[in-house]
């Protein structure tokens, strides 16, 4: 029985919880009867086994805190009525204006400024806005018929703030070097799903990536297990496409995994190449060697510094997605799941040409950003602005033909986002519908950043585990003094300290609360997700406790070894040769005597 005991020592008025037990997912909810106020709120949940059989009593109760902050203030600047205003009003304290305030002091009270399809003439005096962004403010610029290429942004002051410039992007046909790295270690030889093996899926993915590529690109292939193997040197794809696909299809899984050698092989292959340099790494990312993980990250960083972009594709039930995502970010690329590998077609393929005014879908290019993580879009739009992302910007979303839709970057310590697609009638169309509007609010949330950064005082404490250190951050005008804590200054008016609790429950520090729970080992029970594949990759097998006879039989079988021993028959051949010689001599002597 799952019981949500209380929030703030009161009966729970609402709670929705996703509970994962074994392979099943359960969603629990309880009804609301009041509104959550701003401040810290403490949540306690308890599980009571109905059967009475409970091996670990330590993990029956869980403590959680949540911090509700007041709505951040945003400025919405527009020359025309917009349905976006009603969406903003639900989540933010929104002020609508027809022009940007000329005074920096007027802007300082806002966390973000949203410009809705304004022309360059509408935003001539941007001195205050520029200071606002450089010092940490957020800016969200929405395109349309009056802005960007339609609003004379080219060479204007507002363009200097944006992650894009006005212009028509051209794809350099045949100017990309792409090395595909394929994991063929033993761990990829086990089932991926419906009798498919991960290595077969990897090979199919590699061939699919090649089929999606512009044939003018130069492509090479590296396979790896504990060593790197050059499958194909970097050559124009139209020269060796069939040969490369054939070589990939014949790869065989074997050996143990050393992740870093695969990237080393790709790095070496790209040395001295001109044009853009890219690596597509197809692997499960699984290794038991922490040093290997560190070395792989170091190589990804070195590749980034050399100008190589790294894109990772995770394959297998136990793919180390979190690590592969981190490696993609280090390598200035991104991570994609095996089912989403077609995203790479936008980067290396031949985009579909569409006439102006034709309907198009939106395509999430980089799903590892705050704005796009776990985001789904099904909006159909009709218009876009002609812009080019800047070199240091991040292109997150495109149209299905590769035209930039959402681009972001950091300007000073502020955040700037540009939305450059729209619908007919010069509005955001289906992006305003509930199922798609999350992209708009996420962009605003990202632009806002920390909703407490303007407060003169705040305390932030992470929930913790018993007997493990947790960090407490304090922003204050003076050095904080708390019994048992040693603070150090980490930034202007910002201090940090470590704290540790030896018991579970809800605790407080400087009027902020935090939960302390049981050790991590009691939370994740059952087999480690990588256990079976690790055992099998070493030639082992997983047995049930009752399968004693099978264990013995398996040990006998794997203990058998084929030994090759050299046996010399030299002596026998010498005897035979000597016998033949003697016989021949005797025959000759008899023949000679007979002839006489």
Per-residue pLDDT, 595: 66
Residues 408 and 394: beta-carbon distance below 8 Å: yes
User: Which tens digits make up the pLDDT trace of 240-270?
Assistant: 999 999 999 999 888 888 999 999 999 999 9
Residues paired with 498 in a beta bridge: 471
What residue spans define the domains of the chain?
2-69+454-522, 73-171+351-448, 176-329
CA 196 from centre of chain: 24
Residues 419 and 436: beta-carbon distance below 8 Å: no
Per-residue pLDDT, 212: 84
Q: Fold match between 73-171+351-448 and 176-329?
A: yes
Cα-Cα-Cα-Cα dihedral sign, residues 290, 296, 301, 302: positive
**Helical packing angle, 438-448 and 84-91, nearest 10°:** 50
Residues 93 and 74: beta-carbon distance below 8 Å: yes
DSSP 3-state of 3 = strand
Cα 254 to Cα 516: distance, rounded to the nearest angstrom: 45
Per-residue pLDDT, 540: 73
Least-confidence region, from 49-63, 144-158, 369-383, 443-457: 49-63
Tally of CB atoms within 10 A around 498: 12
Per-residue pLDDT, 56: 81
- Buried-state track 153-185, b at ≥16 Cβ within 10 A, e below 16: beebebbebbbbbbeeeeeeeeebbbbbbbbbb
CA 45 from centre of chain: 31
Residue 9: is its pLDDT beyond 70?
no
The predicted model scores a pTM of: 0.72
User: Which tens digits make up the pLDDT trace of 158-205?
Assistant: 999 999 999 986 655 557 899 999 998 876 655 555 446 778 888 999
Per-residue pLDDT, 14: 45
Per-residue pLDDT, 254: 82
CATH of domain 73-171+351-448: 3.40.50.880
Q: Which residues contact 221 (CB under 8 A, 6 or more apart)?
A: 179, 180, 181, 182, 206, 230, 231, 232, 244, 247, 248
Q: Does domain 176-329 have CATH number 3.30.420.140?
A: no
- What is the chain's length? 596
Tally of CB atoms within 10 A around 24: 7
Cα 404 to Cα 506: distance, rounded to the nearest angstrom: 47
């Amino acid at each position: 029985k799952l019981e949500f005991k209380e929030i703030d020592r009161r009966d729970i008025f609402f709670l929705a919880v996703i509970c994962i037990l074994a392979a099943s997912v359960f969603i629990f909810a309880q009804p609301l009867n009041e509104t959550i106020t701003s401040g810290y709120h403490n949540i306690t949940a308890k599980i009571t086994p109905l059967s009475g059989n409970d091996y670990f009593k330590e993990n029956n109760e869980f403590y959680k805190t949540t911090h509700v902050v007041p709505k951040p203030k945003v400025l919405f600047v527009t020359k025309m009525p917009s349905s976006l205003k009603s969406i903003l009003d639900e989540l933010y304290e929104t002020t609508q204006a027809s022009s940007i305030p000329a005074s920096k002091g007027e802007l300082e009270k806002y966390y973000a400024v949203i410009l809705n399809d304004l022309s360059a003439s509408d935003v001539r005096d941007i001195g205050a806005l520029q200071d606002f962004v450089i010092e940490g403010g957020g800016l969200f610029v929405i395109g349309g018929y009056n802005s960007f290429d339609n609003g004379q942004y080219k060479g204007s002051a507002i363009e200097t703030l944006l992650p894009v410039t006005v212009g028509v992007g051209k794809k350099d046909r045949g100017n990309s070097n792409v090395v595909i790295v394929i994991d063929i270690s033993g761990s990829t030889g086990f089932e991926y799903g419906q009798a498919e093996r991960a290595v077969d899926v990897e090979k199919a993915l590699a061939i699919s990536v090649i089929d999606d590529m512009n044939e003018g690109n130069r492509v090479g292939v590296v396979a790896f297990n504990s060593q790197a193997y050059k499958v194909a040197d970097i050559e124009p794809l139209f020269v060796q496409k069939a040969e490369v696909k054939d070589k990939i299809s014949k790869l065989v899984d074997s050996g143990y995994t050393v992740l870093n050698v695969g990237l080393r092989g790709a790095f070496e292959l790209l040395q001295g190449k001109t044009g853009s340099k890219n690596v597509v790494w197809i692997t499960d990312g699984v290794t038991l060697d922490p040093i290997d993980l560190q070395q792989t990250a170091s190589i990804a960083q070195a590749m980034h510094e050399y100008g190589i972009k790294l894109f990772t594709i995770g394959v297998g039930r136990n793919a180390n997605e979190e690590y592969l995502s981190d490696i993609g970010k280090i390598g200035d690329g991104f991570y994609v799941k095996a089912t989403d590998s077609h995203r790479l077609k936008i980067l290396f393929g031949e985009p579909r040409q569409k006439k102006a005014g034709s309907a198009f879908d939106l395509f999430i290019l980089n799903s590892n950003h705050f704005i796009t993580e776990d985001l789904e879009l099904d909006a159909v739009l009709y218009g876009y602005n002609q812009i080019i992302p800047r070199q240091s910007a991040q292109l997150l979303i495109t149209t299905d033909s590769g035209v930039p839709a959402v681009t972001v970057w950091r300007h000073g310590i502020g955040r700037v986002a540009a939305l450059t697609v729209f619908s007919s009638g010069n509005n955001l169309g289906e992006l305003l519908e509930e199922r798609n509007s999350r992209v708009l609010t996420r962009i605003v949330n990202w632009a806002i950043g920390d909703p407490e950064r303007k407060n003169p005082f705040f305390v932030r404490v992470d929930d913790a585990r018993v007997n493990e250190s947790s960090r407490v951050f304090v922003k204050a005008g003076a050095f904080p003094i708390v019994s048992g804590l040693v603070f150090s200054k980490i930034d202007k008016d910002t201090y940090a300290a470590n704290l540790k609790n030896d018991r579970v429950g809800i605790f407080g520090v400087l009027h902020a609360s935090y939960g302390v729970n049981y050790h991590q080992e009691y939370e994740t029970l059952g087999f480690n997700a990588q256990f079976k594949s690790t055992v099998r990759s070493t030639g082992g097998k997983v047995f049930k406790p009752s399968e004693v006879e099978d264990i013995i039989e398996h040990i006998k079988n794997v203990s058998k070894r084929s030994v090759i021993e050299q046996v010399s028959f030299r002596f026998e051949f010498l005897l035979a040769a000597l016998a033949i010689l003697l016989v021949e001599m005797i025959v000759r002597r008899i023949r000679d005597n007979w002839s006489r």
